Amino acid sequence: MPCFFVLGALIIPRISIVYLWLMTNWFIGVFGSLLWPILGFFFAPTTLLWYSVVVQVYDGTWGTFQIIVLILAILTDISPSTNKKRNKNRD
């Protein structure tokens, strides 16, 4: 069951990006080229979504709240790639 939770946490941001890309105009004018959304989709989907929220909703203004949530988004994106091995010396 925890595997389904992890799988959902990894897939939901990507599903959101695909939905926003195909069904809305959310990403138009946010990025100068197509390279950044593609890289964000594969490597940092939560950060990509938050960056687009800041540009669309907050008009690109980076305040304290926006930076704190950006740091949380980056930590969320890199957390699945960290390998924490507990009880390495388990008998």
pLDDT (tens digit per residue) in 2-52: 788 878 888 999 999 999 999 999 988 888 888 999 999 999 999 999 999
Alpha helices by DSSP H, listed for 1-91, are 2-23, 35-43, 45-57, 64-78
The full set of domain ranges for the chain reads 2-80
Given a contact cutoff of 8 angstroms between Cβ atoms, the answer to whether 13 and 50 are in contact is no
Measured between alpha carbons, how far is 14 from 88 in angstroms, rounded to an integer? 33
pTM of the entire predicted model: 0.82
CA 52, CA 7: separation in Å to the nearest integer? Answer: 23
pLDDT digits (tens, 9 = 90+) for 55-87: 999 999 999 999 999 999 999 999 876 666 655
Q: Which two tokens stand for residue 56?
A: 């669309």
Q: Which pair of tokens denotes residue 33?
A: 């080229």
